[in-house]
Every structure is written in structure tokens, then in C-alpha cells.
Amino acid sequence: MNPTIAMITFRSMLGRRRALLLFVLPAVLLILSLVLRLTNTNDLDVDTTVLQRFALGAVLPLLALIAGTGVIGPEIDDGQIMYILTKPIPRQVVILTKLAVAIVLVALFAAVPTLLAGVILGAPAGLTPAFTIGVLVGGVAYASVFVALGVMSRNAVTIGLLYALVWESLFGNFAPGAKKASILQWSLSVTHSLTDASTIKTAVTLPTAVTLLVIVTLAATALATFRLRSLTVASAE
Amino acid sequence: MSVSTIHDIGYRHYDGKRLGRAYVTRSMFVHNLRATYGLGRPARAKVMPFVLAGIMMLPAVGDIAVVAIAKQPKALFAYTRYQFMLQLIISIFVATQAPVLASREIRFHVVPLYFSRPTGHLDFVLAKLGAFTTALFALTAVPITTLYIGGLVTQVPHSGKQLAHFLGGLAGCLLLSLVLAAIGMVVAAFTPRRGFGVAAVIAVLVVSSALVSILQGITEHTGHWTLSGWLALFTPFNLVDTVSYRLLGGPMSAPSAPPGTGGGLAALALCAAIVLGAVAVLYARFRKAGLS
């Protein structure tokens, strides 16, 4: 961990108008929950739908994508990463710091709003803490995968989108096999184990899910470190 | 007698034809259209648009094969439903290619170079918007044209009705292309940072669609059918689907739509408002980017 790199990264992510994108997504979630609560239309089914399909299924992947690729991708693109790489700082420290910033951002803008949305909805059966932890765990895995993507490819955002939307959402609905290989389902499995609500269906058992989450997180971090060791900085487009 | 005079210091004169405003606009249109599909740019830029265009074709080709081999004319997809079925792929295309057209010049501060030539601000915006609309129309219209030709070749019955539906489908494609190009370019023009534009556009499209589908589910569950219908106006794909269902005679693909022809007209008016608003916003944005 390097506090200076962390500070610079935070500033680049939250500076000026860029933060707007990070604020809008959770704001929509909170407004949705508030409207549902005020019109008194929420029950167990509705709460699960909002938390599962919107908080976990839409806000989390998008935010993790923005945060994960945003902490390192633009710097590599415009060559600013050189100022960090030419300092005597080990590459794994650089990656771990960037990853930590991404995880903090995901926690702030996805996990905390999920908690608030659950509280606003007054979700029964321990759904609120279960989904908060599910989002947090999924956020760590997503962030590490997207940071690795950001180091490896200049089209990281597009590839990440294809994974999160096409593979997890689209194929996940048709092919049960694709469903098992998705971070979303693994986090849902963690959520499932923490609540006794009958409305959550999961495709993966808890031990498998936790093992895969840990393996993917560690592998992605290691890969990112490895790739950053031999990074070639090309000029912009 | 004027004080300033232009001296002829012996440079060669330009005697050729003066190509006017129309030529400039047309050149920008063609350049932007090619850029959307990565033509004239490195191979890396061609991968995504052509892969997505290929994915768009797959269901149409597969469907024609089913119709031809299993002799099931009913299995032919409805033309207006096709773009709704593949909305995720279209969304990703819009998200990856809108920044190519709307962000790059702002990011590299080269917009003033355009306006130092006889290029109108409005021409610039219209050429870009037109190019992106054309690219999106090609993306969505080619598969349903393939479907229609496949239907003709396999001799699906009711050819008159098929033609009417096909033309309705094309109109739906054009409307969707206009609306998506407008939304995508406005969002991309305000997020010039690399990668952020893609994320911002997809966030707008995916989140609005997820939000509307959740809210429609809940309102239908509680019996508020009319409200559920009107909610369709809040996401581009359902909006255009409303127009094609209410005004173009296609089947309804979204869970619900606003009631009656009035609902369809309201949706059409909203589409027009989105496109005109986008032209105004882009005009202001690029004019400002030209000054700085």
C-alpha cells in the first residue's frame, strides 16, 4: 500500500464531473427503494427483485467496471503510469493500492447504497445484511478482475461489458453452465447462505462459490501484477 | 480608400472548383460513418463493431434455417420484435461506438481544427448524428432484411402482409437508430475520458431498461396496468417498441405499452423531442469545445 498513489487515484476517480457517474447509479437505487416504500408496494418478492436484479445485477457490475478499469486504464492509456513505474515502488504494491482504491469505491458506491436501500425498504428475513455482504464479496472479485483487464487490454471496458452483460446476464439465462461460471451467481450464493428467504435461487453451492471467488480474486491480482511488470506503454490511438 | 491591401507576393492561385458546404458536410458524414465501423482505422478498431454486427445476424440466419428445414412458417421472427430481442447487443454497439464519434475530437482538443474551415456548427453535429444513425440502421436493418429475403425464398404465406410488416420493421429500426444515436452521442460527448464514455452510455441504457422492467413487473403485480404501460416511455427500446406496436402494427415485445393510438403518438412525440433535444445539446457542446 502506498498512500500517495492511493490519494492520486482517489482524486482522479472522484475529481470534477467523473464522480457524477459514480453517484448517479446508487442514487437511482435509493430513489427506487424510497418510491416503493412510500407507495407501500413492497413485499418480500419486490424487495428481493430490487436488491437482486437492480443492486446486485445492474449497479454492482457497472460500478465495479467503472471503478476497476478507471483506477488504472486511463493512466496506462495516456502514459502517466510511467511516473509511478519509474519510482522504486514494487509493482505488486502499485496493483494492490489500485485494487484497494477500487474496492473502497465499490464498497462506498455499491455496498453502502445496497444497505441503505434494504433499510429503506425494510426488507424482511435478513435480506439487507445478506445482500450487503453479497455485494461486497462480489465487488471485491469484480474489482480485481476488472483491474487485471485494465492492465491487460486497452479495450478493457468493452471486454468487461461483454463479460458482465452478455456472458452473465444473457447466456446465464439460457445456458445453466454459463450461470455456474459467473461472479454474480457466486455472490448470490453467498447471499443465499446468509438469509432464510425462499425467494433467492442459486445455481452454485456455497463452498464452490467461496472457493471460486477466492481463486478468481487472487488469480486476477497475480495476473495484473505479472502484466504490469512487463508493460509497454503505447502512444494514444 | 481602404488602408489594408492584399499584396500578390507570387504564390500560386487556386483556380479549381470551390466545393461548398454540402461537400464538407458529406465528407464528414462519410468519414464518421466509416469510423463507426472502424474502416480506415487499425484492425483493433474493426474487431468490436464487426463482431457485434455478426452476432446481430446469427439469430436471423438460424431462424431462416429453422423455417426452411422444419417447414414452420410461424417460426419466422416478427420484424419489429427483432431489435427488442437483441437490445443488449445493440446497447453494447452504441456504447462502444458512440465515444468513437463523439468523444475523440473533444478528448484530443481538435474540434477547433474543424471550425477553422468553412464548417458550420450545425452541419458538424448533423453529420455526426446522421452518420451514427446510418451505422445503427445498417446494424439493425440488415438482419431483418435477411429475414424478409429468407421468408421470400422459403415462400412463407401471406406475402402482402409480410411486406407491410417488413416495412413497419424498417421504420421501427430507423426510429430506434435515431433515438439511440441521439442518447448515445449526448452522453459520450460529456464523458470524453477514455473508457468512461462507454461505461456512461451503457449505464444509461442498461439501468433505464432494468429499472423499467422491474417497475413494470411491480405495477402489473399490483394491478396498475395503465401506469405500467406508460412506464415504457422511460427506456429507449420500450419507447420504440410502443411506437411499432401502436402505430406500425407489429406485435408487442415489451411486457406492456401505453394504451391506444394516443399512447403511440405520445411515444413518437417523445422520440422526436429526444432527437431534437440531442441536436441542441450537441450543438452547444461542440461549439463550446471549439472555443476552448
Q: Which residues of A touch B (CB under 8 A)?
A: 17-18, 21, 24-25, 28, 32, 36, 41, 45-46, 49-50, 53-54, 57-59, 62, 65-66, 69-70, 73-74, 77-78, 154-158, 161-162, 165-166, 169-170, 236-237
Look at residue A237 and tell me whether its pLDDT is greater than 60: no
Question: Cα–Cα distance between B153 and B151 in angstroms, integer?
Answer: 6
- The answer to whether residue A109 is domain-embedded is yes
pLDDT at A58: 85
Closest by alpha carbon to B215, among B245, B239, B235, B199?
Answer: B235
Confidence of residue A154 (pLDDT cuts 50, 70, 90): confident
Contacts of A78 in chain B (CB under 8 A): 194
Supply A88's cell numbers: 522504486
| Of residues B217, B221, B64, the one with CA closest to residue B153 | B64
Would you call A58 and B210 a contact, using CB atoms and an 8 Å cutoff?
yes
Instruction: Quote the domain boundaries for residue B155.
Output: 21-291
**Amino acid B32: pLDDT:** 93
Q: Which of A184-193, B29-38, B41-50, B249-258 has the lowest mean pLDDT?
A: B249-258
What is the DSSP code (8-state) at residue B189?
Answer: H
Q: CA-CA distance, B151 to B163, in Å (whole number)? A: 10
Residue A121 has pLDDT above 90, yes or no: no
Measured CA to CA, the distance from residue B168 to residue B159 in angstroms comes to: 14
**DSSP secondary structure letter of residue A153:** -
Quickly state the pLDDT bin for B2 (edges 50, 70, 90): low
Note the pLDDT of residue A217: 92
Contact present, A114 and A132 (Cβ < 8 Å): yes
Going by pLDDT thresholds of 50, 70 and 90, the confidence category of residue A147 is very high
% of chain A beyond a pLDDT of 90: 16
- Please check whether residue B1 lies inside any domain of the structure: no
Chain B residues with CB under 8 Å of A73 CB are 194-195
> Could B207 and A162 be called an inter-chain contact, meaning their C-beta atoms sit closer than 8 Å?
no
Using pLDDT thresholds of 50, 70 and 90, give the confidence band for residue B133: very high
Classify residue A236: in a domain, yes or no.
no
What pLDDT is recorded for position B3?
Answer: 67
Tell me the C-alpha distance between A56 and A62, whole Å.
10
User: Which residues from chain A sit within 8 angstroms of residue B196, using beta carbons?
Assistant: 18, 21, 66, 70, 74
Query: Which has more confidence, A161 or A177?
Result: A161
pLDDT higher than 60, residue B292: no
| Domain membership flag for residue B200 | yes
Query: How far is C-alpha B149 from the chain's CA centre?
Result: 23
Residue B4 class from Cβ within 10 Å (0-12 exposed, 13-18 middle, 19+ buried)? exposed
| CA distance readout (Å), A48 to A6, A28, B119, B202 | 35, 17, 54, 24
The Cα–Cα gap between A61 and A53 comes to: 11
In the predicted model, what is the mean pLDDT of residues B61-72? 83
Looking at the domain assignment, is residue A235 inside a domain? no
Per the structure, the count of domains in chain A is 1
Residue B12 domain-assigned? no
| pLDDT for the residue B179 | 94
Domain that holds residue A14: 3-36+43-229
Contact B118, B21 (CB under 8 A): yes
pLDDT of B232 reads 83
Answer whether B207 touches A (CB < 8 Å): yes
C-alpha cell at A123: 426488507
Q: Which pLDDT belongs to residue A84?
A: 86
How does residue B69 score in pLDDT terms, banded at 50, 70 and 90? Answer: confident
Place of cell 502514459: A79
Q: How confident is the model at residue B290 (pLDDT cuts 50, 70, 90)?
A: low
Task: Kindly report the average pLDDT of chain B as a whole number.
Answer: 86
Q: Is the ipTM of this complex over 0.90?
A: no
| Residues B38-46: contacts with CB under 8 Å, at least 24 apart | B44/A154, B44/A155, B45/B100
pLDDT digits (tens, 9 = 90+) for A187-196: 888 888 887 7
Q: Using pLDDT thresholds of 50, 70 and 90, give the confidence band for residue A16.
A: low
How many CA atoms, within 13 angstroms, populate the side-chain half-sphere of residue B173? 23
Residue A170, domain member (yes or no): yes
Q: Is residue B177 part of a domain?
A: yes
A158·B215 Cβ contact <8 A:
no
When divided into structural domains, chain B yields a total of 1
Residue A11 CA to residue B190 CA, distance in Å, equals 19
Q: Do the domain assignments include residue B151?
A: yes
Residue whose C-alpha cell reads 477553422 in the numeric block: B116
B126 and chain A in contact, CB less than 8 A: no
| Alpha-carbon distance values, B165 to B65, B134, B168, B178, B243 (Å) | 20, 21, 5, 20, 14
Rounded to an integer, the average pLDDT of A125-151 is 89
**Per-residue confidence at B33, pLDDT binned at 50, 70, 90?**
very high
Residue B261 lies in a domain: yes
Of A28, A66, A170, the CB nearest to B199: A66
Give the largest Cα separation in chain B, rounded: 87
Q: Which of A156-165, A186-195, B28-37 has the highest mean pLDDT?
A: B28-37
pLDDT at B272: 93
Is B30 within a domain? yes
Q: Is the dihedral of CA B145, B147, B152, B153 positive or negative?
A: positive
Alpha carbon distance A106, B34 (integer Å): 37
Whether A62 shows a pLDDT value over 50: the answer reads yes
Q: What pLDDT sits at residue A236?
A: 46
Residues of chain A positioned with their CB less than 8 A from the CB of B198: 157-158, 161
Taking the model in full, what pTM does it have?
0.86
Per the domain annotation, does A234 fall within a domain?
no
Q: Is the Cβ of B201 closer than 8 Å to some Cβ of chain A?
A: no
For residue B72, pLDDT over 80 is answered with no
C-alpha B193/C-alpha A27 separation (Å) is 22
In a domain, A52, yes or no: yes
Residue B240, amino acid: V
Asked whether residue B199 is assigned to any structural domain, the reply reads yes
Which pLDDT score is estimated for B181? 94
Q: Residue A48 falls within a domain, yes or no? A: yes
For chain A, what is the largest distance between any 2 Cα atoms, rounded to a whole number of angstroms? 58
Q: Which H or E element spans position B34?
A: helix B21-36
| Cβ–Cβ contact B71 with A under 8 A | no
B160 CB burial (10 A radius; 0-12, 13-18, 19+): exposed
Q: Is B89 on the interface with A (CB under 8 A)?
A: yes
Q: What pLDDT shows up at residue A148?
A: 93
Cross-chain residue pair B215–A32, CB shorter than 8 Å: yes
